[in-house]
Amino acid sequence: MDLIIVESPSKAKTISKYLKGKYRVDASGGHIRDLPQKTLGVSIKNGYEPKYVTSPGKEETIERLSEAAKRAEKVYLATDPDREGEAISWHLQTVLGLDEKGLNRIEFNEISPKAVEKALTRPRLINYNLVDAQQARRVLDRLVGYKLSPFLNNKIQNGLSAGRVQSVALRLVVDREREIQAFKPEEYWTIAAEVQDKAKKFSPFRAALEKFKGKKYKPANKEQADETLAALAAGEYAVGNIKKSVTKSHAPAPFTTSTLQQDASNKFGMSAPETMLMAQHLYEGIDVEGEGHIAFVTYIRTDSTRISEDAQSSALGFIAEKFGKEYCPEKPNVYASKKGAQDAHEAIRPIDLTRTPDSVKKLLDKKHYNVYKLIYERFIASQMAEAQYNSMQIEIENGDYTLKASGKTLRFAGYTAIYQESKKEDDEETSAKLLPDLTEGEKLDCNGVKADQKFTKPPVRYTDASLVKTMEEKGIGRPSTYASIISVLNKRKYVEKDGKYMIPTEVAYRITDMLVKYFTDIMDVGFTAGMEEKLDDIEEGGKDWRAIIGEFYPPFEEKLKFASADGDEVTDILCEKCGHPMVRKSGKYGKYLACSNYPACSNIVSEGEAEISDTPCPKCGAMMTVKSGRYGKFLACPNYPECKSTLPYGEKKEDVFEGVCPDCGKPAKKLRSRYGKIYYGCSGYPDCKFMSWDMPTGEKCPACGGALVKTPKGVIKCANKECSYKIIPETPQKDQPNEG
């Protein structure tokens, strides 16, 4: 039996159901190989060669797939149709020992019986251009992240991370907040009159002041507003230019990844990561009562607005049947994708149009239903005719002032019969009815004029939707990265949410300022967008990925060296270990001295103003110094980083050694764990590695030969948990009263 390997068990379950047992379908659970988690994993001296290791927890998966591949007549790699999916297939091919020249790769844009069966008839070779593009991104992001993150941790605080795209996105949020903080509102006034024909045949309507002496005008203060009101009261209102027209609104394009995230945020308040999780489930398949595992939508990571001819034909047939032929456009709607879009993909659309939102409402939970309804209705709307409106504009003249009234009514619903676009935050309400049928020059009565004081508003903070839109417009990141970037900003607490709006935290400003100061290019939006284009060039086969990394990394490394050493001052203090001059450096806890002979000598000591305690280091014997950390003062060994011993502040010299090691007879040391718990270790470490939570007495257990230890309550017991030997101290007896 042939074997098909996909990423997720859910996807495997859906495909297995569609193929009715003709193939064995298994899942890799994503990448089975990746760069190591705790080391750089990139050989800079060897052409930036990545060192791949088995992903944590994937040993059993590899063993299972290897056995299945050996038994299979043919192995098909059916991972997602993008760079990441191609790289996963390449790793599978390598680890499973499949023929590099074998036609193992299949792909499909939707998980449907027809699409999967068709893909199986058209297997191909691994596309190494796609693989190289993914490798380049992975190596580039690893180099930036693994080099910048320690720099930030040293300069600002522990636990910080930086990323090639993540940090630029954070800068957008920080810059916007600073624009808001620096914004100075400017006063202006709006003036509107309620006017009506003199015969009172029509209802009164509102006209807003627009021009003064033919130029756009808004009073800047109360004095100007009062002057305008007085002039309008003294003058007469008459109908000026009248403009009637039929306006059209073209249907929006079907969803891409970014527009889906934006619409879900605007209409349902869903975060980008949450939207993508729901969409991923709809793509891979969901258990439906009575039908098993069903996939609902096509591939959901795309920046293309293209629709297949079959899908378009099905949509037009559905529209004609449900709404009428007049709702079908004269020519099928075609949408231009943005530059650089992956047009081998389609836009996001439903797989089966008979699965209407109403028909699946009881089968899906609320969030899955909301996302499916958005995708379904947006796709149908994208293939429908334009909406048409009867529009009318009337200019009202009063001396040097011109007022304007606008209104429109729906003439033909078109695509709005199924889908309403999200209203923009700065949209103004438009009259829902047409204005009265007046004639030019006709005199009007004024029922009242009103002036309202207003102030210009600062820029609006970013939401998930607007940040995704901005990143897409500026070419930062790609469809598969938007949600993960926003997720990191929230998880790392670089931003906080005020409702749906992002507010940068204090550390976000420090990170942004530090990176902008030293790494101007990396933090530049244009530079980041340009790098994305270079990655696209790799995919198209015109660029060597190692050459692109080679152009980027050496200048970056030089900037990193300068940034790390900036502010360092060579002193006349000599290193006590090697005699080289010490360099004064600045760290997150203040200034310290480091040997200039680094890395040959890594001696680091506190500045002269540091307080020297009378407590020797329990590991190396050096007199410990007093340091200040986030939890207050503590004692630290001056020989850091060679010796990383610490003790609580106030630990007495005589309290350092307590007890006797039962293994070698040397004094035991009283130590404290990272969580503050006392424990005991042999002073002969590392030659003797004895450790105990209780104080060792130096004696051996007469029952089993284990170490005898003393608990805080004075109980002598065997350290061997399987031995019950114990000596409980006698409790002093109180004097008993005399009897008789």
Q: Which residues are annotated as catalytic?
A: 299
Neighbours of 11 (CB within 10 A): 22
CA 39 – CA 42 distance, rounded (Å): 9
Q: How many of the other CB atoms lie within 10 Å of CB of 406?
A: 16
Tokens of residue 127, six digits: 């596309």
What phi and psi values does residue 371 have, to the nearest 5 degrees? -70, -40
Query: What tokens were used for 87?
Result: 């790289």
Write the DSSP symbol of residue 198: T
Alpha helices by DSSP H, listed for 213-354, are 222-234, 257-268, 272-284, 309-322
**H/E element, 220:** none
**What are the b/e assignments for 92-123, b being 16+ CB within 10 Å?**
bbebbebeeeeebbbbbbbbbeebbeebbeeb
* Structure tokens, 109: 């844009």
Identify the burial level of 90 via C-beta atoms within 10 angstroms of its C-beta, where 0-12 means exposed, 13-18 middle and 19 or more buried: buried
Q: Token pair for residue 4?
A: 């098909």
Per-residue 3-state assignment (H helix, E strand, C coil) for 561-583: HHHHHCCCEEEEEECCCCCCEEE
- Look up residue 351 and give its amino acid: I
Contact predicate 387/416, CB 8 Å: yes
| C-alpha atoms less than 13 angstroms from C-alpha of 449 in its C-beta half-sphere | 23
Query: Token pair of 602, please?
Result: 């890594």
d(CA 417, CA 27): 42
How many other C-beta atoms are found inside a 10 Å radius of the C-beta of residue 671? Answer: 18
Token pair for 167: 């940090």
Q: Do residues 569 and 515 make contact, with C-beta atoms less than 8 angstroms apart?
A: no
Distance, C-alpha 61 to centroid of its chain:
28
**What is the token pair recorded at 699?**
């004696």
Say how far apart CA 567 and CA 656 lie, in whole Å. 38
d(CA 271, CA 261): 8
Q: In sequence order, what are the beta bridge partners of 632?
A: 629
Q: What is the dihedral of CA 556, 558, 560, 563, to 10 degrees?
A: -130
In DSSP terms, which residues pair with 194 in a beta bridge? 206, 448
State both tokens at 740. Answer: 């008789």
Strand 205-212 and strand 215-216: pairing?
A: antiparallel
Task: Give me the numbers of helices (H) and strands (E) for the chain, helices first please.
Answer: 17, 34
391: amino acid identity, one letter:
S
- CB within 8 Å of 162: residues ≥ 6 apart: 144, 145, 148, 149, 151, 152, 511, 515
Tokens of 309: 């001819």
